[in-house]
Amino acid sequence: MTNLSATQKNVHSYREQFPALANKAYFNYGGQGPMPQGVMDAMTETQAQIQNIGPFGNEVGRWIGLNVKAAKEAIASDLNVAPTTITLTENVTVGCNIAMWGIEWHSGDHILLSDCEHQGIIAISQEISRRFGVEVTTCPLMDTLNTGDPVEVINQHLRPNTRLVVLSHILWNTGQLLPLDKIAEVCRNNNSQILVDAAQSVGAMPLNLDQLGVDFYAFTGHKWLCGPAGVGGLYVRPQAKASLKPTFVGWRSVILDDRNQPIDWNPDGSQYEVATSDYPLYVGLKEAIAIHQQWGTAEQRYQQICRHSEYLWRKLAALPNVKCLRTSPPECGLVSFQLVNQKPHTTLKLVQFLESERSFIRQIRDPDCVRACVHYFTLESEIDQLVESVQRFSLA
Ligand SMILES: Cc1ncc(COP(=O)(O)O)c(C=O)c1O
């Protein structure tokens, strides 16, 4: 089995900037990433600076405005899009809400989801369905993890009245990376818009959203980007903007005249922003992005993530009582697996056992499995520790 240490030369000193990594083997990046000290310091300093200049006044208002702009520029550089296409949100789910409620629904319209979407997104669809008489159906992508073609499955489930397709770039339960460019093309050919839940992809792989051709891409800073909880974003494709109406509206959404009366929507992504926010979070996210970019390009980070997930996948697959959901090496940092002959509650017990041994992974309910996430700065020794603990549990 390939040894990872050659690719991990400076990683020990790099990891020292993440206090959370000092005392545990961490595999929950898909839940929440650990924050670097520099991110926490940047937020504390920003908070102090706001108090020092303001907290409310013309100068501090201008200063905050510059920081909001800088945060959008940092996010946009990571996604390879123009900063004007970015709306700052609180998390993935708020971004999905903006996209889903902003469409002018008509009774009889159709929403297509995959069968691997997050519960929050399912709940939004159900409420839209109830309120507007929109039909929601689900297509089976879970079964295409190892065989089958997700593009074809989606194609078969599109209808003439499908207004919106909602799916994740990386399926959070099985770790499948979907061929989004091909899926976007199939949707475009059907005149259906596509909203992507990017909870597991932003910060975890190189992205060029304009090239992908998706309409809406909702993400967060607190998972793979290791930024603070409470700030995320939504990309809206320029061609999709005219059809997406703001649902929540406030002073940040509009252009004001000299009597402070709203006269038009802001032309950029701030059209979907509302009002006062916790601005130091934006600075924290910008700092987190800068820290990753200093380590290497998005492509280099992704390659390292894949080396780590393959290493973990191979070690797990070699255990007699463990079954990885994937039958080939993962294409991202998520590795989902089960115990052979597991009973109900086994996965929860495994997660609890591992946490008691200071290894952090999570339980997934559908399919019944556990999920370990590796980042580019995960250690070979962390993976070895996890696998060794899993083995002991599986043999007990
Ligand atoms: C695929 C997916 N979508 C949505 C979410 C919810 O994210 P947030 O709390 O940022 O809205 C998660 C969180 O784990 C997720 O994995």
Q: Which of 231, 295, 284, 377 is nearest to 39 (CA)?
A: 284
CB contact burial 218-241 (16+ within 10 A = b; e otherwise): bbbbbbbbbbbbbbbbbbbbeebb
CB contact at 8 A, 177 and 207:
no
For ligand 1, say whether the CB of 93 is within 6 Å of any of its atoms: yes
For ligand 1, say whether the CB of 219 is within 6 Å of any of its atoms: no
Q: How far apart are CA 142 and CA 133, in angstroms?
A: 27
pLDDT digits (tens, 9 = 90+) for 35-75: 999 999 999 999 999 999 999 999 999 999 999 999 999 99
CA 150 to chain centre: 20
Compute the Cα dihedral for 386, 387, 393, 396 and give only its sign: negative
Ligand 1 atom closest to Cα of residue 96: 11
Ligand 1 atom closest to Cα of residue 93: 11
pLDDT digits (tens, 9 = 90+) for 75-129: 999 999 999 999 999 999 999 999 999 999 999 999 999 999 999 999 999 999 9
pLDDT at 6: 66
**Token pair of 312 as six digits:** 């973990």
For ligand 1, say whether the CB of 89 is within 6 Å of any of its atoms: no
* Length of the chain measured in residues: 396
For ligand 1, say whether the CB of 176 is within 6 Å of any of its atoms: no
Q: How far apart are CA 249 and CA 177, in angstroms?
A: 34
Distance between Cα 119 and ligand 1 center (Å): 9
For ligand 1, say whether the CB of 114 is within 6 Å of any of its atoms: no
Compute the Cα dihedral for 340, 342, 347, 350 and give only its sign: negative
For ligand 1, say whether the CB of 120 is within 6 Å of any of its atoms: yes
For ligand 1, say whether the CB of 118 is within 6 Å of any of its atoms: yes
- The DSSP H or E segment spanning 45 is helix 37-53
For ligand 1, say whether the CB of 197 is within 6 Å of any of its atoms: yes
CB contact at 8 A, 216 and 241:
no
| Domains of the chain, start order | 6-30+297-395 (3.90.1150.10), 43-292 (3.40.640.10)
pLDDT at 1: 58
How many C-alpha atoms does 38 have within 13 Å on its Cβ side? 14
By most ligand atoms within 8 Å of CB, the mutation choice from 118, 176, 195, 365 for ligand 1 is 118
pLDDT at 137: 98
Q: Which of 389, 386, 372, 382 is nearest to 335 (CA)?
A: 372
For ligand 1, say whether the CB of 91 is within 6 Å of any of its atoms: yes
Residue with tokens 């916790």: 278
pLDDT at 341: 85
- The DSSP H or E segment spanning 114 is strand 110-114
Q: How far apart are CA 371 and CA 343, in angstroms?
A: 17
Residues of the chain short of pLDDT 70, as ranges, are 1-2, 5-6
Amino acid at 250: G
pTM for this predicted structure: 0.97
pLDDT at 362: 98
Q: How far apart are CA 37 and CA 43, in angstroms?
A: 10
CB contact at 8 A, 363 and 1:
no
Amino acid at 48: A
By most ligand atoms within 8 Å of CB, the mutation choice from 93, 202, 363 for ligand 1 is 93
**Token pair of 386 as six digits:** 């996890």
Atom 14, ligand 1: residue with shortest CA distance: 31
Whole-angstrom Cα Rg for the chain:
22
pLDDT at 253: 98
For ligand 1, say whether the CB of 92 is within 6 Å of any of its atoms: yes
Amino acid at 309: S
Strand pairing report for 322-324 and 362-364:
unpaired
For ligand 1, say whether the CB of 168 is within 6 Å of any of its atoms: yes
CA 54 to chain centre: 34
Residue 63, classed as helix, strand or coil, is helix
For ligand 1, say whether the CB of 172 is within 6 Å of any of its atoms: yes
Q: How far apart are CA 383 and CA 389, in angstroms?
A: 10
Phi, psi (degrees; rounded to nearest 5) at 289: -60, -40
pLDDT at 110: 98
Ligand 1 atom closest to Cα of residue 95: 11
Distance between Cα 110 and ligand 1 center (Å): 23
Distance between Cα 321 and ligand 1 center (Å): 30
